[in-house]
Structure 1
Amino acid sequence: MTTLEGRAATAVLVIDMQRDVVADAVDRDGTVARIAALVARARASGVAVVWVQDTLDGAQGSDGWGLVDALAPHPGEPVVAKEHGDAFEDTDLERALAALGAGRLVVCGAQTDACVRSTIHGAFARGYDVTLVEDGHTTVDHSAFGAPPPAQVIAHTNLYWRYQSGPGKRADVVPAARIVLATP
């Protein structure tokens, strides 16, 4: 249903699942396990997996910049470095997705209240259908800065994304185990 013509394919977009980004994330291990299982299903189904890595203020190449051990790109899978919250801003993500024919994104990763939110909104505004993996995104505790506790941030993001709408495109929230990887 995407507004992007000729882009019927689905891609799984894994955002910032880097060691330093998720070191203190809520339900880190569970989130990693669910994303790893989703990525394995995508690969087995022939669905593209696209990886995004935040540059972490110049930390590229450091151990903390690397993806967590359970999540490693396979050869040929696009890896996009980004400097901004929205993974589309000033990156080659759009070009990579166009080359894959992807008009639907299944989004998971970190951090819920920053890069995940920015990217799902950025994708939707660009015409993509966006499925947020309900139990496949996480964040750290920013309550010392006035944010709600992480579980509430995640729950709120899942809640409001269920009601996102726009002409000719679809937004939904689905648990990792129930994600349909073919275009709905």
Structure 2
Amino acid sequence: MTTLENRPNTALLVVDVQKGVVGGAHQRDAVVANVAGLVERARREEVPVVWVQHSDEGLTRGSDDWRIVPELTPGDAEPLVEKSYGDSFEDTALETVLSKLGTGRLVVVGAETDACIRSTLHGAFTRGYDVTLVGDAHTAGDKTAWGAPPVEQVIAHTNLYWSFQAAPGRTAGVVAAADVVFGGAS
């Protein structure tokens, strides 16, 4: 279990599901639908939903591309953390938000698999969180023009290596959206 003291709660962390990030992403509609289903379940089960929203010179704060996709609407009481780096913890209030919620376990969904999702998974894990990646609720855009593998291979590889992640006192794993258990380890 988490190495963070007095942090028994789980939170759903929704990373960068923004118009300009997932607009042309692999299986965009299916992934957004899986995220939406998890958001609904988390709310019903009174599990905190924490939103992360990226901005940089290519994704300008306040622009239409910067906005969360229309299928998802953060609740008024749900924390929204703005970031400028891949790791959602880097130079943000995320740790403070999660600490106030008593969160020691994160269920992670969103985009981009090979950038912000990967960085956030590792950032959370090294900070002491238990981290579950939802294998069918993250995606990325095609970067084969720059020598990257096809997106489906990037997703498959991320799901593979995260299911074997290990460290003292922490758990990591990958589950399908239908198999997420918010009340404990999936």
Q: Is this contact kept in 2: 1:8–1:183, CA < 8 A? A: no
Q: How far did residue 56 of structure 1 move?
A: 3.3
Unaligned 5+ runs, structure 1: none
- C-alpha displacement of 1:45: 0.1
What is the CA distance between 1:183 and its match in structure 2?
2.3
Partner of 1:4: 4
Offset from partner CA, 1:53-105 (integer Å, 9 cap, x none): 00132611111110001111001100000000000000000000000000000
TM-score normalised by L of structure 2: 0.98
Partner AA of 1:129 in structure 2: D
Query: Unpaired segments of 5 or more residues in structure 2?
Result: none
DSSP-derived class of the 1:94 partner: helix
SS at match of 1:46: coil
Residue in 1 aligned with 2:169?
Answer: 168
Match of 1:179 in 2: 180
Deviation at 1:149, TM superposition (A): 0.1
What's the RMSD between the two structures over aligned residues?
Answer: 0.7
Partner of 1:59: 60
Superposed displacement of residue 144, structure 1 = 0.7
Relative to the length of structure 1, the TM-score reads 0.99
Instruction: Please state whether the residue corresponding to 1:42 is helix, strand or coil.
Output: helix
Find the aligned partners of 2:178 and 2:48 in 1 and give their Cα distance: 17
Cα deviation code 1:117-142 (max 9, x no counterpart) = 00000000000000000100000100
**Aligned residues of 1:56 and 1:65 also touching (Cα < 8 A):** no
